[in-house]
Structure 1
C-alpha cells in the first residue's frame, strides 16, 4: 500500500520573530535533517509564502537552500497555497487569485530559476466550499487535499474520528470538473497531532489497517509541520520511523494522483480540518474562527469585510492588505482554547494600514480588548 504525507509549514504575518526562530530550531531544521538522512523520503510540503518571507527576514538562507536541495532531489514536493493563510470561503475570487500570485512570488524568491508551478494546492485550514474548488481549478491546479469530514456522508463519530476506511479505496474528482480531490485520514492525522503516547509500531499498525481492507488502499496523513518537534519533540521519532520503514511505500501526493487508474466523482461538503461532530451541520460550525457569541471575532469580521470591500492594493506584491486577511487573528481570539491579545493587536496594525487608524471598528475592538485578560493561552 501507499502512504502520502502532507505537511503544512506556516507562520502568520503577525508572528513574533523570536517565535519563528524558535520553531525553526525545534521543528523546521530537525524535520529537514530527518529528510536529508533518509534516501527513501517522500514528503509533500506546503511551505507557505508567509513563512518563506519570515525565514528570509531571519537570514535563514542556508536552511532554505537545504530545503531547495531536497526539492530538487525529489524528496520534497511543494504545493501552492494562499500566501497569508486566509479562509478562502470568505474571499471573493479575485482575492483568492491574488493570494495565489503572492505565494508564487515567494516560491520564486526561494527556488529562483528552479521554480516550477506546483501540481496541487493546499487549502488553508482545509476550509472548503464548492466556490473554493472552482477557483482552484480555474488557476490550473490538478488536485487538493481536504479533511475526511468533507467526503459526502462520511461524517465523524463522537470522538471526532471517521466512521469508514472505504474512502481510500478509490480516487476522486470534483463533480462537473477535472479537479482531483484527496481526503486525509482523520484518525491517523489526529493521533500524530495529539496522542502523546503514540508509538512507532502502533502508528504503522494504524496505517496497515487500510491495506488489510483493500489491496490498493492508500493513506494520506496531513498535519501541521510544527507537529514534528515544536509541538511534540517525540513526533520527530515518528517521522523518522515513517521515512525509514520498508513495509509501506512512501509517495508524494502527485505520484499518488498519477497512479490512479480511474476516478469517481464527488461533491465535497463544506468543511475544515478543525471540524468535529458537535459542530458539523450546526449554526456554529466553525467556532474557532466565527463564533456569533464572540464579540471580538465579530468585530474582526467587520474589519475583514471592510478591508475586502474598500482596501486598495499597492502596485507591487505583497502588501499589508494581503497580510491583513490571515486567519490566525480569529483563531487567537477564539478562546477555543487559544487566546493571545498580542497577536490580535498585531493584526489591528495591518488593518490600520488598510483602513486608517481612526476606523471606528478598530477603536471598538481595542476597547473590547482592553477589558479582556492579558494572559495568553497557547495551543
Structure 2
C-alpha cells in the first residue's frame, strides 16, 4: 500500500489512553504497572517529540505517583503538556461510577480531580474534554459537564443509538440541546488492538483503512481508538511496541481529540443512550446498560448501593454546611477533622471497582467487595452526621454483603453465574453455521496459510494454521469472530459476509471490551 493512497482518505486517527489505579493498590502491583507500562510509554513520548495522543489520568493515580516515589512520571507529564504533545481530559478523581451517584458527588469528584491534577501538572493542565470512568454516559453526566464548561465528552459508539456499526465518523456529533460535542470510540478497532489480535503496524494500518468510513468527496473523517493504557506492556507484554509504531506511522494522521473539531466542520445532533464501553446491545435493549455495576437481579449490588446511599446521606447531613457547600462541597470548605476523615473516606469509597467485582458475570473478587463495603461502613461509623440507627444499619449492611458474597462463593453460585454468562459463546462455529459455510472458512484459512508460507511470512502462516485447529476442535465463538476479523485485513471478505450474519446473536450480547 502506498502511503499517499492511505493519506488521501483524509482520515484522522486519534489514540486515547485511560490510566488509573485505586488509592489502595498493592505497592508491588503498582510498581509492576509503572515499570511495565507507564514509564515505557512516557519515556517514548519524551524521546519522540512528534508523537501525540490524548490521555486521561485520574488524579488519585497522580497522587499515588507522588506518594510512592514515581515523581519522574509527573515531571514527564508536565514536559509533555508544555510541548503540546499530549492532551489531558478531565475526570472523576477517585474513578467513581458517575451515572449512579448524586449530582453533588459528581461535582465534587470532578472538582477534586481538577484541583489535584492542576497542582501537580501546572498551568498547562487545561482540559477541554471529559472522560467519565468506564466511559459511562448518561444525561446527568452531560448536565454537569456542561455546567462546568467542558467542550466535549467521550463515549462508546454504542451510545449513538444503542446499536453497533451505526455511527459514522465524518461529522462531529453534538448532544442535542447542548453545546457539548461527543466523540465516539470505535469499538471494533479498539478491541482488536486491546485483544492483541494484531501486533504489527503492517497489519493494523490496513485494518484502520478497512474500518474507516469513506465519505463522498474530500470531506475528512476520524477514527478514535480508546482503551486502558495499562493494556500496553502490563496486560499485554510487548504490545507497547505496536502503540509506538502507530504514533510514529507516516501513514496515519495522528490528532489529539481536541483538534478533530478544528478539521471536521460538519455537525450532526444526536441523543445518545445510556451506556459504558462495556455495554452490549442486549443490555441496552433490556434497560440495564450499567449492569456490571448495578444489576437489578444482583443481591450484592443492591446491598452495596443501599450502603452507598446511606454513606452519602450521613456525610451530606453534617451540620455547619450550607446547601451550596453540600452540592459542590468545595475542597476549601472548613469542616471538623473527624468529618474531614469521613468525607475523604467517602470520596475514595465511591470508586467503581468494588461494584464491578461483585457482578460475577464473570468478574468476582471477595477481597475487593469487602474492601469497598468496609470503607462505606467506616464512612457512616466516623461521620458526625450519623445517628446510632445509621451506624447499626451500616454495620448490618456490611455484614450482609460479606455473608452473601461468602455464600455465593461457598455454594458455587458465582461459578454458576459465570458459566451462564459464558454459555452462549460455547456453541462452536461448526454447529452454528451450515456445513458449506464451515468448510468455506476452512478453505479460505488454508489458502491464506499457503500464501503466507510462500511469502516467507511464517508467523502469519502459523496464525492461519492455528485458526483452522481452533475451528476443527470446536473452540468457542470468540475464536471464530476473531478469525473473521483478522481475515478481513487480508482478503476481500464480501463473499463471506453471510458468515458474520450467523453471529448476530454474538454481536448483540458481546461486551464492549475483550476479556483480559
TM-score (norm 1): 0.91
Distance 2:172 2:198 in 1: 32
Are 2:290 and 1:267 equivalent residues in the alignment? no
Question: For residues 295-352 of structure 1, what are the alpha-carbon distances to aligned partners after superposition, in whole Å with 9 as ceiling and x for unaligned?
Answer: 2222111111222222247836971111111111111112222222112222123213
Q: CA RMSD in A?
A: 2.4
Specify which structure has the higher proportion of helix: 2
Alignment map for 1:81-96 (pairs within 5 Å): 81-96=91-106
Residue by residue over 1:116-156, the C-alpha shift from the partner in whole angstroms, topping out at 9 and shown as x without a partner, is 33111111112111121111011100001110000026x12
Instruction: Identify unmatched segments of 5+ residues in structure 1.
Output: 157-162
The worse-fitting range, judged by mean Cα deviation, of 203-212 and 103-112 is 203-212
Task: Go from structure 1 to structure 2 and tell me whether the alpha carbon gap of 1:140 and 1:283 turns closer, same or farther (over 3 Å shift).
Answer: closer
1:288, 1:330 within 8 Å by CA — same for their partners in 2?
yes
2:4 corresponds in structure 1 to: none
Superposed displacement of residue 197, structure 1 = 4.3
8 A contact 2:170–2:213 mirrored in 1: no
Q: CA deviation at 1:372?
A: 4.7
Pick from 122, 130, 146 the counterpart of residue 155 of structure 2: 146
Secondary structure at the residue paired with 2:119? Answer: helix
Query: Residue deviations 1:253-305, cap 9 Å, x none?
Result: 11112323242111111111001123221144333212233322221111112
Q: 1:173–1:263: 8 Å Cα contact kept in structure 2?
A: yes
The equivalent residue for 1:160 is none
Partner of 1:247: 251
- The 1:105/1:349 distance shift into structure 2, 3 A limit, reads farther
SS in 2 for 1:81: coil
Q: Which has the larger radius of gyration?
A: 2
Structure 1 equivalent of residue 135 of structure 2: 126
Which residue in 2 is equivalent to 1:231? 235
Q: Residues 339-354 of structure 1 correspond to what in structure 2 (within 5 A)?
A: 339-354=364-379
How far apart are the structure 2 equivalents of 1:4 and 1:189?
Answer: 11
Aligned mate of 2:73, from 57, 63, 66: 63
Which residue matches 2:195?
Answer: 194
Q: Deviations over 1:48-80 (max 9, x none)?
A: 012112112211112211122112111111110
Please say if residues 188 and 203 of structure 1, whose CA atoms lie closer than 8 Å, have aligned partners that are also in contact: no
For the residues of structure 1 that align with 2:170 and 2:211, how far apart are their CA atoms? Answer: 9
User: TM-score with structure 2 length normalisation?
Assistant: 0.67
Aligned positions of 1:108-123 closer than 5 A: 108-112=118-122, 114-123=123-132
Whether contact under 8 Å (1:8, 1:225) holds in the other structure is yes
Contact 1:40–1:250 (Cα < 8 Å) also in 2? no
**Deviation digits for residues 72-119 of structure 1, max 9, x if unmatched?**
11111111001111121112221111111110122023113x343311
Matched, 1:369 2:398: no
The answer on 1:169 being equivalent to 2:170 is yes
Mapped to 2, the partners of 1:309 and 1:258 lie a distance apart of 44
What's the counterpart of residue 57 of structure 2?
47
Structure 2 counterpart of 1:297, from 294, 301, 311: 301
Structure 2 residue runs without a partner (length 5+): 1-10, 317-328, 382-390, 419-514
Greater relative contact order structure (CA < 8 Å, 6+ sep): 1
Mapped to 2, the partners of 1:143 and 1:340 lie a distance apart of 34
Q: How far apart are 1:44 and its partner, in Å?
A: 0.6
Where 2:407 maps in the other structure, the secondary structure is coil
Q: In structure 1, how many angstroms separate the alpha carbons of the residues matched to 2:287 and 2:160?
A: 20
How far apart in 1 are the matches of 2:255 and 2:347?
A: 33
**Secondary structure, aligned partner of 1:4:** strand
The question of whether the paired residues in 2 share the 8 Å contact of 1:126 and 1:145 is answered with yes
Mapped partners of 1:70, 1:17: distance in 2: 26
Give the Cα–Cα distance (whole angstroms) in 2 for the partners of residues 43 and 285 of structure 1: 29
1:204 partnered with 2:193: no
CA shift, 1:168, in A, is 0.5
Alignment partner of 1:136 is 2:145 = yes
Secondary structure of the 2:282 match is coil
Give how far 1:34 is off.
2.4
- Preserved CA contact (<8 Å) 1:210 1:218: no
